[in-house]
């Protein structure tokens, strides 16, 4: 919040009241509608997150029932190779970002997508049961993040959080990834998840999501 105030994107009401978004947010909204990409807006946030956590980070959206990666930054200290390619799609059921993006849909919509796309097994850890997948997606809606535990690539782990627009709708997912040894449960809980939720809130606020304040 302090960063938003310092940069002029938010202000406090007189008398110590609540915090409000400034007109600069409206300008950003207009710019997005005029063609300024979400990728351009998110890029400095992704760089900050990658440098802070020393993890690979990415920005993803849903398109035609698949996950499409808009941007990706690899950490210089990571042992992982860049398996993800910008502009390429990935199965929505086996990635952390995909689970986040699925969480905006109803069970009926998810069922319809599964009927169309199926649940192909990519590794021994891939969720291929519809009821189990839907149960996990419902948990995402409650806890605010999703995990990929070697479900897409053996030896790789990923955590993802949602990005909201002014209406509170999930428009994208921000993810951090590395190998399983580097991205432990303890590190996720104590360091990675708090940093990701904070950054996601700041970026969502720039898109007009008032609850981020």
The radius of gyration of the chain's CA atoms, rounded to the nearest angstrom, is 17
Amino acid 1: pLDDT:
57
Task: State the pTM of this model.
Answer: 0.79
Amino acid 213: pLDDT:
53
Between residues 32 and 138, which one has the greater pLDDT? Answer: 138
Tokens describing residue 124: 């021994």
Amino acid 15: pLDDT:
56
What pLDDT digit, counting tens, does each position of 127-182 carry? Answer: 999 999 999 999 998 899 999 999 999 999 999 999 998 889 999 999 999 999 99
Phi, psi dihedrals of residue 81, rounded to the nearest 5°: -90, 155
Q: How far is CA 178 from the centre of its chain?
A: 15
Does residue 46 have a pLDDT over 50?
yes
Cβ-contact 150, 123 below 8 angstroms: yes
The domain 38-212 belongs to what CATH superfamily?
Answer: GAF domain (3.30.450.40)
Amino acid 65: pLDDT:
87
What is the distance between the terminal CA atoms of the chain, rounded to a whole angstrom? Answer: 6
In this structure, of 32-46, 110-124, 176-190, the range with the lowest mean pLDDT score is: 32-46
Instruction: State how far the Cα of 186 lies from the Cα of 196, in Å rounded to an integer.
Output: 15
Among the listed residues 97, 131, 100, the one whose alpha carbon sits nearest the alpha carbon of residue 114: 131
Does residue 22 have a pLDDT over 60?
no
CB burial of residue 49 (10 Å; 0-12, 13-18, 19+): buried
156 bridge partner residues: 179
What pLDDT digit, counting tens, does each position of 64-123 carry? Answer: 888 988 888 887 665 555 455 554 567 899 999 999 999 999 999 999 999 999 999 999
Cβ-contact 80, 178 below 8 angstroms: yes
Amino acid 172: pLDDT:
95
Amino acid 31: pLDDT:
44
């Amino acid at each position: 919040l302090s960063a938003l105030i310092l940069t002029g994107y938010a202000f406090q009401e007189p008398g110590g009241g609540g915090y409000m978004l400034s007109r600069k947010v409206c300008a950003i909204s207009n710019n997005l509608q005029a063609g300024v990409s979400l990728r351009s807006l998110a890029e400095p946030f992704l760089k900050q997150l990658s440098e802070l956590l020393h993890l690979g980070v990415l920005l993803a959206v849903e398109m035609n029932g698949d996950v499409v990666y808009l941007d990706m930054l690899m950490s210089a200290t990571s042992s992982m190779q860049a398996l993800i390619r910008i502009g390429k799609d990935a199965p929505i059921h086996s990635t952390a970002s995909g689970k986040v993006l699925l969480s905006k849909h109803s069970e009926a919509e998810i069922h319809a997508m599964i009927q169309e796309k199926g649940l192909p097994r990519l590794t021994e850890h891939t969720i291929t049961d519809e009821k189990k997948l839907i149960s996990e997606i419902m948990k995402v809606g409650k806890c605010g993040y999703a995990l990929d535990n070697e479900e897409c690539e053996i030896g790789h782990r990923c955590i993802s959080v949602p990005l909201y627009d002014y209406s509170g709708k999930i428009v994208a997912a921000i993810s951090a990834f590395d190998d399983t040894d580097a991205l432990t449960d303890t590190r996720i809980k104590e360091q990675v998840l708090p940093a990701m939720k904070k950054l996601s809130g700041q970026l969502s606020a720039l898109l007009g999501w008032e609850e981020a304040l």
